Structure 1
Amino acid sequence: MSAAGWFIVLLALVGANLPFLNQRLFAAVPLKAVKKSAWLRIAELIVLYFVVGALGFLLEARAGNRFEQGWQFYAITFALFVVFAFPGFTFQYLVKRR
């Protein structure tokens, strides 16, 4: 696997956990509410999936060998993105804090 492939995998790991590790929108915009709702975190996760996917598409096109993908590819990569989000989800919702 090339360096660009590993970069996308690491970016997907960071992007998938970003909604769960802070209370800001996309880690930049402060919200007036004390805590983000779960629906906002899911929406942020979906947007970040498309951002990471677009960056991967650009890197693949820049390498010169862009491949056509069917719906199966996007279903599998979204499922993998959700699996990558598990550590952040666990930290946000399952770890008890004192």
Structure 2
Amino acid sequence: MSQNASVWVVLLVALAAANLPFLNERLFGLVPLPGGVKLLAVRVGELVVLYFVSGGIGLLFESRAGQIAPQGWEFYAVTAALFVVLAFPGFTWRYLLKHRSHAAHG
């Protein structure tokens, strides 16, 4: 895979991973939770774990392309901020838009 293609794959994986916690009521999209309701704290915890999973995929692609460049705290601050920005569509859909199923009850 070319370096350009691997960058796009990592960005698409990060976009999907950042929105996954907000698009379903299961833990990591797989494990049903008791009560069927996922709290915001659980969603934020998933977001943190998925940030590191996405970063690991990026690290894998970087290691296959050549030597891994050392990163300082600035890199992690910027990528974490980017990951939160990528999560905005899912957060908006979950918390800021009114859904018909909820509007019918209230």
Q: Is TM > 0.5 for Structure 1 vs Structure 2? A: yes
| TM-score normalized by the length of structure 2 | 0.89
- Residue 61 of structure 1 is matched in structure 2 by 63
- Residue 92 of structure 1 is matched in structure 2 by 94
Residue 82 of structure 1 aligns to a residue whose secondary structure is helix
- Residue 34 of structure 2 is matched in structure 1 by 32
- Residue 11 of structure 1 is matched in structure 2 by 13
Q: In the comparison of the two structures, how many residue pairs are matched?
A: 98
Larger radius of gyration: 2
RMSD: 0.9
The CA deviation at 1:33 is: 2.0
Deviations 1:8-66 (A, max 9, x none): 00000000000000000000111112210000000000000000001100110111131
Q: Greater share of helix residues, 1 or 2?
A: 2
Query: Partner amino acid for 1:41?
Result: R
- Residue 76 of structure 2 is matched in structure 1 by 74
List runs of 5+ in structure 1 lacking aligned partners: none
**2:60 & 2:35 partners in 1: Cα distance?**
35
**2:14 & 2:73 partners in 1: Cα distance?**
19
Structure 1 runs of 4+ aligned residues shifted over 3 Å read none
**1:33 & 1:40 partners in 2: Cα distance?**
13
- Residue 52 of structure 2 is matched in structure 1 by 50
- Percent of aligned pairs with the same amino acid: 57
